[in-house]
Amino acid sequence: MDIANIDAKERFIKTVFRVGLVIAGSLVSSFGIVAFLESHKMLTTGVAGLAMLTSYFIPINAGVLIIVFNIPLFILAWKKIDINFCIYSIVGVVSLSLMMVLFERLGTTYAHVENPLLAAIFGGIMCGGGTGIVMRARGSHGGTDILAIILRQKTSISIGMIGFYLNFAIVVVLMLKYGLESGLLTIFAQYISAKSLDYVVTGFNTAKSLIIISDKPDEIADYIMNKMYRGVTVLQGRGGYTGAEKKVLWCVVTTSQLARIKAAVKKIDPNGFMIISDASEIIGEGFYQIPF
């Protein structure tokens, strides 16, 4: 088999995997919408939420309205992002719409939750988590997801929170129709959804940033580089009290590697000083790259 055939096979497998992720994410989101949010007159975020709100006023299935409302936004996505993103987003929107129609026809009484607060929590988790899965495949569920991604590229604000802010006007209309309680529950569900989305998209990219001050910096650096296979930056420092010159080590490691490095530092230099802080959205070799 020549190299061209191997490359074509790899691209095909990658495409199938991405389409599978998009469909799986749409399945999760659609079930969360139909089973938990619609039954309590709550809304998800974005154009899907606008479609749900419209369906509360006129007898048209929300899944059908999602496709209609997304047409102009797909044109924007094609111009502002790229054609591949647009194609996977079309798959996301169509699969989300079809699954919503399917779940509504099959009924979800077996998953109905009487407590509206629980419905908001689990509906938000499933909606945001499902959309996050779709975005990890570099697709979207259209609507304000597209606007959020474009704004993220310009502002670096998280996708979930941009979507949350863009939905305020829709929630106000919902409050006028179904009252304050329904609106407040929707805000809560959308906040949970935004956090779930951000965790799925960026949560796996979190790591730990380490600053290590030790009398045995070379031994510690050698362990991190040759045992943990992580890069180390050596900074030149000076003690404020003693005036002594010291090497300061700085590195970023995964959470799973942290315990072993802490144990190694303690063993190599029991008096070593280490600062550990959270790091997110790491851009570079060895870490998952956020697709947008």
pLDDT digits (tens, 9 = 90+) for 93-140: 889 888 988 888 776 656 678 899 999 999 999 999 998 999 888 887
Give the pLDDT confidence score for residue 121 in this predicted structure. Answer: 94
Share of the chain above pLDDT 90, in %: 26
Residues contacting residue 253 through CB under 8 Å, at least 6 positions apart: 207, 208, 210, 224, 228, 230, 261
pLDDT digits (tens, 9 = 90+) for 209-242: 999 999 899 999 999 999 988 999 999 988 887 8
- Going by C-alpha positions, the residue among 119, 107, 197 that lies closest to residue 158 is 197
Q: The pTM is what?
A: 0.69
Q: Is the dihedral of CA 37, 41, 42, 46 positive or negative?
A: positive
The mean pLDDT value of the chain amounts to 82
User: Is 207-279 assigned to CATH 3.30.70.120?
Assistant: yes
34 vs 28: CA distance, rounded Å: 10
pLDDT digits (tens, 9 = 90+) for 184-215: 898 899 889 888 888 888 766 668 899 999 98
| pLDDT attached to residue 160 | 64
Q: Tens digit of pLDDT for each residue in 239-287? A: 887 888 889 999 999 888 899 999 999 999 999 999 999 887 677 666 6
Q: Cα 234 to chain center, whole Å?
A: 33
* Residue intervals in the chain for CATH 3.30.70.120: 207-279
